[in-house]
Structure 1
Amino acid sequence: MSELSERSTALHQLSARELSAAYAAQDLSPVDVAEAVIERIQEREPVLNAMYRFDPQDILEQARLSEKRWATGTARGALDGVPATVKENVARAGIPMPSGTALPNPKVPTCNAPITNRILEAGAVILGSTTMPDWGMLSSGVSSLHGISRNAWNPAWTTGGSSAGAGAAAAAGYGPLHVGTDIGGSIRLPGGWQGLATLKPSAGLIPLDVPYLGRAAGPMGRSVDDIALFMTILAQPDVRDYTARPYPTQDWQSTISSVSGLNVALHTDANAGSTVEPEILAAVHNVAALFADAGANVKTLDPFITQEMLDRLDGFWRTRSWADYRELSAENQAKVLDYIVRWCTIGSTFDSADTIRNFGAIDQMQQATIAATAEFDLVISPVSPMSAFPAEQPMPVVDPLATMSHIAFTVPYNMSGQPAATVNCGFTSDGKPIGVQLSGPVGADAAVLRAARWYENNRPASASPLWNTLD
């Protein structure tokens, strides 16, 4: 291996905090890091297919400007020069936003989303946009535009979705910081299936320029420390998000040495969707046992949503996508992924009263979730009831007529607006990562991340991803 290759391998593995410290000490240049990460992307992209837009020259120009700022004492903060990606549905001025579909003439935004602005204002280097499946309505990396994005642990496995490329990029070492979006698990599912630390934040905490019920954007990375550092810039108010709440300032950098006294719930029966696989169930129970052994007050949380709620929510989403699909010409309808067509066409069968009842599932799920979890500081649950499935499958259950049976643990927190993080907590017998979800009260995002960081620092070695094995 050449000296350059050895250096590149080392650099693309560095965390955001390690890079920041190295820049401040003049031990590393953002240009060196950018070159290393570009090399990494070029090496893995032919298989992983995680990037929608990737311009090495633009990356290097951003890195040169950062290098100059660090050299002249004008760095914009800890993330200046640190590589990052954003999902393709996060607006970047002048960059098309096809939302994973092969439809012609995708929207080209004239201005950046709040997230993009915050990243650029902090001086971070945007590596490009990451892939997603059609309209973000699949929990995989299958797209009519991009083809198939693949898992960095094993390309035969799904990335998860809809933040498919973001998950693969984070796991593969395309820099330390990545942004995904989530309406039912789209940050946490790729996180769980690729061993990542992620956060679906409280509703409106990270501002969006296109907000709607349940939608959130959040950080994805290899460690809780990195995503907590990322939150220092992402969780800044922006008037364009007209749904945002006036959250108090949160302390993203502090840690806890003990979880003694925390009121913790263990939730492993969703009462909806698929049954949790035995290896996943055992891994999540082990997380709860670790908290209990450290002094947390752990209780079992009974089911609080119903299959009808999940069915009706799925029905509402089908109708919403059908409304978009039916406006397309016959020629363009033929370009949408067949699975999505079959899935959303069911939405045409609901009358107006059905649609109102289906929409009402959002309120029902929100009320049930907040009421059930109100007495707890933290809820421990699986991310998904199943492990990663084949990359070519659009969904874990291949029948588009079936309800989304894999989101019963994740989607309640989209509807309730509560924060939910993921951390890797083990591996299946065939080596697939297993994620645990840690959720908390609305506005307790930093506290949830402190608990997640505590678990990450105290979990057994067998539950810790060995990222250097992906090289």
Structure 2
Amino acid sequence: MADQELCYLTATEALKRFKAKKLSPVELMQAVIDRAEQVQPKLKPYTYMHFDEAMDLAKKAEAKYAKGGKTGALEGLPIAIKDESYIAGKPTSFGSLITKDTIPEKSSVNNERILKAGAIVVGRTATPEFSCCSVTHSKAWGITRNPWNPKFTPGGSSGGSGSALAAGATTLAMGSDIGGSIRIPASATGVVGYKPPYGRNADDAPFNLDPYCHTGPMTRSVADAILLQNVICGPSPTDIASLKPKLTLPTDYKPIKGWKIAYSMDLDCFEVDKEVVANTRAALEVFKSLGATVEEVELGWGPWALETGVAHLDHLFGSSLAKLAKKHRKIMTYYALDFAKAAVKSKASDFLAAMEGAAKMYETFGPLMEKYDAFICPTLALPAVKADFMSGPEVLKINGKVSKFNPVLGWCMTTPFNTLSRCPVLAVPSGHAKNGVPTGIQIISRTYEDATVFQAATAYEAALGGWYRDNGHRPKL
């Protein structure tokens, strides 16, 4: 098997081969490291790389499989961890010169579970400064690029994870999502990204108490997303918001014949690129071919739906940046300072208005979902913006029109479902634009009905035959 074939092997298939002694964790790790070294100079998906340690751990995993003893759920699999969560004894930069090379004493709950399950950290993936942008570039680490077309961003803030997965530079990856930060790069790089409902996966304080905040898996297949989600999911004594009991997702699902699926192309408020629309319609045709009824609906939302989410983020998340900006303004990025400025202007009444806006959104979405099995919309209104977007003041254009929204999130149709935070959302690919950049759709279900989105995505993926199955379906690097 060629090295590239190993690089794009799914995690579930790799585990089968490990157990059958047809593949060694060392072989897989070497292929992934070689690929990471090849693409890192051009794409910069990684910040810190732990290749030597990863190879040592792969040898230990190889020995476990050779003995035929008990192995963890992720034993020997390469994984990339976003550079914003903690791994004890290893640096975490948050994409900022302010906190670069911070060494935590404890690991984040999700990372503890991943390591306990036997996964091996290849490296930490790039994020914009403090994960506060929809693109991935920082003064600390430079510009992270899209493997499908390096002129464009892989999205943000989990852009390094998306870039590494699409490039074959890891087998699994982790992301976090407070305004779309898992789903934006999932769409822009053509991978699978899951935003679980609030509380499903334990998180770090204090943002574990923010209902917009979610940590979740990023993968190249739906089955791999289920595999990783089942490892990280579950309550933690350190997170009061984490849900009991642990939910374990099924790995097998019934067909979706007879389902009723609602869709909106624009969420009643976005201008959407014509290629995104075309690819979304093509995806909807796949669902029809699977026996589902597909109906367009109106949500009764308007521009205020996105503005609601932005107001929430400005008030809470932006406040943490405003504190830093007082002391470190000279070494912070333009977009982080812009976020901090908005936070200074935000009042408690603005935050209350955001809560009222969220309630208003669900007044229509909740009753609508009682009539349908799932809801589908594009993930992004554009395939992607340029790789260095938001280096300074920017104008966002879609279909030649200047967007009325904040350029950071005005091209991202993700934030409304952080506002509706208890709804599970699975982002999957829908095709490619003419510039080579992937496009994607979001599959949304009723609150806390996680398995529904995976059932829909499993059927959809099977109908398409997967996304990285051969060289013709991989980036040309």
Tell me the TM-score normalised to structure 1 length: 0.91
Q: 1:237 aligns with which of 231, 235, 238?
A: 235
Matched, 1:264 2:264: no
Q: 2:307 aligns with which of 308, 311, 314?
A: 311
Match of 1:227 in 2: 225
Deviation track 1:206-253 (CA, whole Å, cap 9, x = no partner) reads 221331211111111111121122222122332222112235644431
Matched, 1:407 2:402: no
Unaligned runs of 5+ in 2: 397-403
Match of 2:39 in 1: 44
Q: 2:250 aligns with which of 249, 252, 256?
A: 252
Match of 1:3 in 2: none
How much has 1:464 moved relative to structure 2? 8.1
Is the contact made by 2:132 and 2:335 (CA closer than 8 Å) also made in structure 1? no
Match of 2:127 in 1: 132
How much has 1:16 moved relative to structure 2? 0.8
CA distance in 2, matches of 1:130, 1:85: 6
Is the contact made by 1:265 and 1:376 (CA closer than 8 Å) also made in structure 2? yes
Match of 1:428 in 2: 433
Match of 2:421 in 1: 416
CA distance in 1, matches of 2:139, 2:392: 18
CA distance in 1, matches of 2:155, 2:77: 25
Matched, 1:204 2:210: no
> 2:43 corresponds to which letter in structure 1?
L
Q: CA 1:67–1:34 in structure 2 vs 1: closer, same or farther (change >3 Å)?
A: same
Matched, 1:300 2:273: no
What aligned pairs does 1:22-421 form with structure 2 within 5 A after superposition? Answer: 22-104=17-99, 107-210=102-205, 211=208, 212-247=210-245, 249-256=247-254, 258-272=255-269, 274-328=270-324, 332-394=328-390, 398-399=394-395, 402-403=405-406, 404-421=409-426
Is the contact made by 2:166 and 2:474 (CA closer than 8 Å) also made in structure 1? no
Partner SS, residue 350 of structure 2: helix
CA distance in 1, matches of 2:417, 2:365: 6
Q: 1:459 aligns with which of 460, 464, 467?
A: 464
CA distance in 2, matches of 1:63, 1:34: 7
Match of 2:401 in 1: none
Is the contact made by 1:7 and 1:36 (CA closer than 8 Å) also made in structure 2? no
Q: CA 1:460–1:54 in structure 2 vs 1: closer, same or farther (change >3 Å)?
A: closer
Is the contact made by 1:205 and 1:247 (CA closer than 8 Å) also made in structure 2? no
- Once structures 1 and 2 are overlaid, which stretch shifts more, 457-466 or 40-49? 457-466
CA distance in 1, matches of 2:42, 2:56: 27
Match of 1:470 in 2: 476
CA distance in 1, matches of 2:178, 2:277: 24
CA distance in 1, matches of 2:211, 2:101: 24
How much has 1:78 moved relative to structure 2? 4.2
How much has 1:296 moved relative to structure 2? 1.2
Is the contact made by 1:381 and 1:409 (CA closer than 8 Å) also made in structure 2? no
> 1:389 corresponds to which letter in structure 2?
V
Is the contact made by 2:378 and 2:413 (CA closer than 8 Å) also made in structure 1? no
Q: CA 1:16–1:351 in structure 2 vs 1: closer, same or farther (change >3 Å)?
A: closer
How much has 1:420 moved relative to structure 2? 0.9
CA distance in 1, matches of 2:392, 2:22: 46
CA distance in 2, matches of 1:237, 1:363: 26
CA distance in 1, matches of 2:353, 2:38: 49
How much has 1:468 moved relative to structure 2? 4.1
How much has 1:265 moved relative to structure 2? 0.6
Identity in percent: 26
Is the contact made by 1:319 and 1:344 (CA closer than 8 Å) also made in structure 2? no
- Once structures 1 and 2 are overlaid, which stretch shifts more, 397-406 or 12-21? 397-406
> 1:433 corresponds to which letter in structure 2?
P
Deviation track 1:316-337 (CA, whole Å, cap 9, x = no partner) reads 3223344333433755121110
Match of 2:399 in 1: none
How much has 1:191 moved relative to structure 2? 0.7
CA distance in 1, matches of 2:180, 2:150: 21
Partner SS, residue 437 of structure 1: strand
Is the contact made by 2:133 and 2:335 (CA closer than 8 Å) also made in structure 1? no
Is the contact made by 1:277 and 1:385 (CA closer than 8 Å) also made in structure 2? yes
- Once structures 1 and 2 are overlaid, which stretch shifts more, 106-115 or 43-52? 106-115
Deviation track 1:349-380 (CA, whole Å, cap 9, x = no partner) reads 23443343245434444554333323221111
Q: 2:442 aligns with which of 431, 437, 461?
A: 437
Q: CA 1:105–1:433 in structure 2 vs 1: closer, same or farther (change >3 Å)?
A: closer
Is the contact made by 2:309 and 2:419 (CA closer than 8 Å) also made in structure 1? no
Partner SS, residue 416 of structure 1: coil
CA distance in 2, matches of 1:366, 1:149: 36
Deviation track 1:407-449 (CA, whole Å, cap 9, x = no partner) reads 3455325533211112211112232211111111223222211
CA distance in 2, matches of 1:70, 1:462: 29
Is the contact made by 1:40 and 1:174 (CA closer than 8 Å) also made in structure 2? yes
CA distance in 1, matches of 2:456, 2:393: 32
Q: CA 1:155–1:23 in structure 2 vs 1: closer, same or farther (change >3 Å)?
A: same
Is the contact made by 1:59 and 1:126 (CA closer than 8 Å) also made in structure 2? yes
Q: CA 1:351–1:21 in structure 2 vs 1: closer, same or farther (change >3 Å)?
A: closer
CA distance in 2, matches of 1:106, 1:304: 47
Unaligned runs of 5+ in 1: 1-5
- Once structures 1 and 2 are overlaid, which stretch shifts more, 39-48 or 206-215? 206-215
CA distance in 2, matches of 1:165, 1:270: 28
Is the contact made by 1:313 and 1:359 (CA closer than 8 Å) also made in structure 2? no
Q: What is the Cα-based RMSD across aligned positions, in Å?
A: 2.6
Match of 2:11 in 1: 16
How much has 1:398 moved relative to structure 2? 2.3
Tell me the TM-score normalised to structure 2 length: 0.90
Q: CA 1:106–1:250 in structure 2 vs 1: closer, same or farther (change >3 Å)?
A: same
Is the contact made by 2:226 and 2:249 (CA closer than 8 Å) also made in structure 1? no
Is the contact made by 2:194 and 2:216 (CA closer than 8 Å) also made in structure 1? yes
Is the contact made by 1:269 and 1:302 (CA closer than 8 Å) also made in structure 2? no
CA distance in 1, matches of 2:469, 2:5: 19
- Once structures 1 and 2 are overlaid, which stretch shifts more, 301-310 or 322-331? 322-331
How much has 1:255 moved relative to structure 2? 2.9
Q: CA 1:365–1:144 in structure 2 vs 1: closer, same or farther (change >3 Å)?
A: farther
Partner SS, residue 124 of structure 2: strand
Is the contact made by 1:76 and 1:121 (CA closer than 8 Å) also made in structure 2? no
Is the contact made by 1:98 and 1:107 (CA closer than 8 Å) also made in structure 2? yes
How much has 1:68 moved relative to structure 2? 1.6
